Structure 1
């Protein structure tokens, strides 16, 4: 079982329900002061700490005298604007009592998805941490209208962990980790201490949001854990209501109590490899570079690209931009011919099957279509991100019948 002691840099996500009293709409001061002490101790131990905190809307609601219950979008934005000032002040005062400076960052999804803004935010975080500060991050709810309606800070916490190359993300909840069923409704529910991989069965165990001041639930925490673990970051999920909420994740707590009252989601990728995959999947190309054969060999071996290996440059780009290498445009038949050669040399696209013929006999068929195999895989990948569920299911049901009609004539 992994404990917080092993973390070099961790992100702790704090929800409104932990930080703000549901009845009074004010900060749980004693709780925040105990958290600040936990963070100060972590800093003394050489650990970098980043806070992702909700609570601005919950605080602003009371400050502006807004009614309980569901707020209009513009009321939520106003509450966020007023409450964020108060939220930052509370964090600054709590951390300053231990000589730890706090810094506020307000982010939107674009700041984690857009490459240049991602790099700028990452550089700011790195500088703040190197100067001994604790960044306190919240979503910029006054402008992120889509997120204020449907989102929460669990996903933001995962993106911040990904952006900052943190090795651990702590999600503080109202339960001691992930259970096989809702423990408030099923007394037979069991806590799962170690989750090596998030499977559909694990996702099915999640429920909805229960808090009156928060928007997140176990569903959003599992979604955040999927993002973080895929980025090479372990996730610790535990109950955060008690004072000194980070102490439960320390190894000495487990030694003293004989238990680790949380769930640990294991990272499923190395941070470097996960970062490269993120770049491929989330960034628009700023240009293209044609390279010679020597440069291709160097890049395939993990080496850097030198100017001598560049044959042609198209587009305008700067440091940090993503470019395609050897992005040569081809006509469809040339693509197929090229793929047939490349894939065929690597044993892709060979098939040996026993078929049921239309005339009632069986035959053994050996087929080889290297280029077609790759193009089909690429086409299905595109379909997976463009077709909605109903269309995808309809296609899957029609496809075998359509193929049968064509085959049989």
Structure 2
């Protein structure tokens, strides 16, 4: 596979982390950024559409405002730093892309913009139109209004969700590490490099490390593996490659040094969106028979549920866990939490008497569910 051949990957998302874009003093690394933009311009000239997901606003704003701890001492500091730094960040991208004859567009999104279906479709439409106009969208989380409870918190997963919304064929996470290792290479020199991941299972997830090598970014290998799960479920390959080199996209294309997570067969658009959603309103625990039924493509009936947790309304996302507490599926609940609690374990012919109205047969219908 090639993430840089337009025929194989017509639409590409490139994520740039804070540690690559901003130096220790809080200034933009303009020479490095210019090299990356030269790479992007080459891809654009070859016919590839490129979306950038760029961190760096908080780091830049913290320097300008003189805030401690890189602007992350409090939520209020982070919001102020983001509001201040985003102007400088967008200006740098627009200027350097303009030097290459490319037009930049800024798109700031929140978690809710991609979790709510209508707003997600609006984001998708905007990205699609910008790309058809030959523009390079530069996307970031809108940290100036995001809260601790409702935010991505890292741009790895944001990049995967943006790739999903844009129907991208590939996502490249430029990082302070060159890929996935079976152990943290910072602490273990014998750590083995993983070049290709066909399937994200428990063994792959166990290799991830929550720490960022730089300490500047908000993500780690865990967030990158989570991003890979989102992207590959949407039919896009995802690569982790080193950004600590000049012309990082060219270097990755020439050397192949990086970890590639191989895309799975693309799901229908609505189910791919469900697969990528990050915030669940509650949890439904199920028995072994129900777990087997879901694997066979059936709906979740109340009789197969054993316990309900959380507060959610009808139509909210819920996680579905097996008897061992492992995720089996996720989907949109046909009932609110209060009604779901009342009908757990009950047969379909009992529901009307319990609820006092004609019930919906499924607790979570298969058309609104994705199996893990």
Q: TM-score range by the shorter chain?
A: 0.7 to 0.9
Distance 1:190 1:280 in 2: 34
Per-residue deviation, 1:95: 0.4
1:157–1:224 contact (8 Å) kept in structure 2:
yes
| Root mean square deviation, CA, Å | 3.0
In the alignment, what sits opposite 1:208?
Answer: 210
2-structure distance, mates of 1:166, 1:373: 30
Aligned length: 298
Note the alpha carbon deviations across 1:258-312, whole angstroms, 9 max, x for none: xx21011001122xx24231356789xxxxxxxxxxxxxxxxxxxxxxxxxxxxx
Deviation track 1:301-355 (CA, whole Å, cap 9, x = no partner) reads xxxxxxxxxxxxxxxxxxxxxxxxxxxxxxxxxxxxxxxxxxxxxxx99xxxxxx
| Cα drift, residue 212 of structure 1 | 2.8
Question: Does structure 1 residue 219 correspond to structure 2 residue 222?
Answer: yes
How big is the shift at 1:63?
0.6
Task: Give the counterpart of 2:269 among 268, 275, 287.
Answer: 275
In structure 1, runs of 5+ residues without a counterpart are 255-259, 284-347, 350-371, 394-409
User: In the alignment, which residue of structure 1 is the partner of 2:201?
Assistant: 199
CA distance change for structure 1 residues 165 and 218 in 2, over 3 Å: closer, same or farther?
same
Counterpart of 1:127 in structure 2 is 129
2:92 corresponds to which of 79, 90, 93: 90
8 A Cα contact 1:232 1:274, kept in partner: no
Gaps of 5+ in 2: 278-291, 310-316, 327-372
Q: Which residue does the alignment assign to 1:64?
A: 65
Structure-2 residue corresponding to 1:32: 33
The 2-side partners of 1:377 and 1:220 are apart by 35
TM-score, with normalisation over the residues of structure 2? Answer: 0.73
**Going by fraction, where is helix more abundant, 1 or 2?**
1
How much has 1:173 moved relative to structure 2?
A: 1.0
Matches within 5 A, 1:316-395: 375=301, 379=305, 385=318
Give distance in 2, aligned partners of 1:248 and 1:390: 47
SS in 2 for 1:144: coil
**Cα distance, 1:65–1:149 mapped onto 2, change above 3 Å:** farther
Given the two structures, how large is their TM-score scaled by the length of structure 1? 0.67
In the alignment, which of 78, 81, 86 is matched to residue 80 of structure 2?
Answer: 78
Partner of 2:23: 21
Runs of 4+ in 1 over 4 A off after TM superposition: 147-150, 279-283, 380-393
Deviation for aligned residue 1:209: 2.4
Give me the whole-angstrom Cα distance separating, in 2, the residues matched to 1:276 and 1:40.
33
Q: Structure 1's 118 and 387: CA in aligned 2 closer, same or farther, altered over 3 A?
A: closer
Matches of 1:230 and 1:382 in 2, distance apart?
Answer: 27
Greater shift after overlay, 61-70 or 383-392?
Answer: 383-392
Which structure has the bigger radius of gyration? 1
- The DSSP-based 3-state class of the residue aligned with 2:265 is coil
Q: Secondary structure at the match of 1:181?
A: coil
Q: Is the 2:113–2:123 Cα contact (8 Å) retained in structure 1? A: yes
